[in-house]
Amino acid sequence: MSTNKRAYNFNAGPSALPLEVLEKAQQELVNYNGSGMSIMEMSHRSKDYDEVHNNAINRLKKLLSIPDNYEILFLQGGASLQFSMIPMNFLTKDKTASYILTGSWSEKALKEATLFGNAVVASSTKDNEYRNIPSIEDIQFNASDAYVHLTSNNTIYGTQWKEFPNTGDVPLIADMSSDILSRPIDVNQFGIIYAGAQKNLGPSGVTVVIIRKDLIEQANSEIPTMLKYKTHADKNSLYNTPPTFGVYMLGEVLNWVENQGGLETIQKRNEEKAKYIYDVIDESNGFYKGHAEPNSRSLMNITFRLADEELEKQFLADAKAAGFVGLNGHRSVGGCRASTYNAVPIEACIALRDFMYEFQKKHQ
Ligand SMILES: *Cc1c(COP(=O)(O)O)cnc(C)c1O
């Protein structure tokens, strides 16, 4: 493959980044802004880095219309460390937190919480093989709960919340790792939003946390310094060395999203992209079987199966030979999955649609 030929990249994460962003990073790699060095080689206390850091914060704030009573943090440890940090900061032995289970990532989040306090299931769609998002009326929680936790997009099963429960005074916490910035959201509905960067925001290594300031003040203080939200909030995420290159890339991705026309435009495009592929599934007379129930379908991860594992193997092998990357389902569930994050171009989705049509014609 020549260096400028781009793959049809449907990886689930780390995943596609906008070509323009990669090219700009390449241009600036060895000499950032006339400094004679890479962003990676300069102090995180330097003026150049400071600008990169604060630009990323301000761009995110603008794109998501994040109100002033929220703090934006750039942490490390992935979304997985947030599974622990959240209960460490907000759940104690005498308190209860409610978890809505819609897939493997929410199960993992719940498991960590049980180490710190009483963590209970507010609703679960496991009995339905996580094919759907629960209806909002079925969610059980108490006004005394420390928080309610959900996963806004289920990367592995391919389901996504369309609207969120109103939890009143109980903070709603959302793992948005695989759909943040894919559509507009109302940040005010949430106490905390967190996301590992490597799906829709940039390279792995940065974790974005958007947290209401009053929660930071209420958090448990008897925990290690690095695991307190307050430590990072008080120092603008510069308490220790942040993942500087990751933050730089995040800033460039945010700039790209802005240049695309913002989140409304991005959402429309994501709907168009996903529709190409869901339409092939729906019009295939059962040749392709979608995993998610239609009203719970994700715009980011499209999961489907073929008649049997033999045919799936053939599909994946042929797809690979045709230049499609990352169509294998998660190792825990098998099948096929096309991840159509923000940076996946429309052309890649059209190419996949055409490939799926042709494959069906040949094999049905
Ligand atoms: C990928 C993913 C995670 C895990 O993220 P890490 O950054 O690898 O810890 C957690 N939650 C969701 C919804 C994900 O898609």
Write out the E strands in the chain.
Answer: 8-9, 70-75, 96-101, 118-124, 148-151, 153-154, 159-160, 172-175, 192-196, 207-212, 289-290, 301-305, 324-325, 336-339
pLDDT tens, the chain, 364 aa long: 445 689 999 999 999 999 999 999 999 999 999 999 999 999 999 999 999 999 999 999 999 999 999 999 999 999 999 999 999 999 999 999 999 999 999 999 999 999 999 999 999 999 999 999 999 999 999 999 999 999 999 999 999 999 999 999 999 999 999 999 999 999 999 999 999 999 999 999 999 999 999 999 999 999 999 999 999 999 999 999 999 999 999 999 999 999 999 999 999 999 999 999 999 999 999 999 999 999 999 999 999 999 999 999 999 999 999 999 999 999 888 899 999 999 999 999 999 999 999 999 999 8
Report the CATH number of the 22-260 domain. 3.40.640.10
Protein residue with its CA nearest to atom 13 in ligand 1:
177
pLDDT given for residue 332 in this prediction? 82
Q: Is 80 close to ligand 1, i.e. is its CB under 6 Å away?
A: yes
238 Cα to the center of ligand 1, angstroms: 23
Could you please state the CATH topology (level 3) that the domain comprising 261-363 is classified under: Aspartate Aminotransferase, domain 1 (3.90.1150)
Domain boundaries, the chain: 22-260, 261-363
> Ligand 1, closest atom to CA 156?
15
pLDDT given for residue 4 in this prediction? 67
Residue 313 designated active-site? no
| pTM tops 0.95 | yes
> Ligand 1, closest atom to CA 198?
7
Q: Residue-wise over 33-48: b if at least 16 C-beta within 10 A, else e?
A: eeeeebbeebebeeeb
Q: Is 79 close to ligand 1, i.e. is its CB under 6 Å away?
A: yes
Protein residue with its CA nearest to atom 7 in ligand 1:
78
Q: Is 151 close to ligand 1, i.e. is its CB under 6 Å away?
A: yes
The catalytic residue among 105, 145, 161, 273 is 105
Residue 175 designated active-site? yes
Residue 127 designated active-site? no
